[in-house]
Every structure is written in C-alpha cells, then in structure tokens.
Amino acid sequence: MTTASEDGEPAVPIVCPECGTEARIPLGELADTLDRHNADRHDGAEVARVDPDVADSLADLVVADLGLLEDE
C-alpha cells in the first residue's frame, strides 16, 4: 500500500542559533528552506540546520517515507 506524502509528509525541526529561528519544515522543502534562509539572512553561511536532536533520526524518516509512513 502506498501512502501519499502530500498531507502526511514529516515535518523536520530546524534551528538557527544565530537569529533564534525555530521552525518545522516539510521534508520536501527542507533543503530549499535552509538554503534560502542562509542565503537571505547569513550571506550563504550554513547557520540554520536541522535540529541536532532529530538529525540522527532524519535518515529513518526518509526511509519511513518510502513505504512505511506514520505520523509519529
């Protein structure tokens, strides 16, 4: 069974210690959002990043998204 990822797409917490930004970004927009934030706010420096607490599990989320998507 395939579950569409449109609505159930996992949101990934990002943090930017330099400007205090915290946000949850849909996985499909993560790279673009981080790139844009860093380009706009920090002259392209890689300041904003995935919350370190969940970075380790991000790979698991991606794997889950391939076929075993669950909310939590």
Applying CB under 5 A, the residues found at the interface with Zn ion are 16, 18-19, 21, 41, 48
Smallest gap from Cβ 70 to Zn ion, in A, equals: 31
Nearer to Zn ion, 5 or 33 (CB): 33
Smallest gap from Cβ 23 to Zn ion, in A, equals: 10
Compute the distance between CA of residue 28 and CA of residue 43 in angstroms, rounded to an integer.
Answer: 23
Residues in contact with 46: Cβ distance below 8 Å, sequence separation at least 6, in sequence order: 34, 38
CB 28 within 8 A of CB 5: yes
Compute the distance between CA of residue 50 and CA of residue 58 in angstroms, rounded to an integer.
Answer: 9
Smallest gap from Cβ 47 to Zn ion, in A, equals: 5
Nearer to Zn ion, 10 or 34 (CB): 34
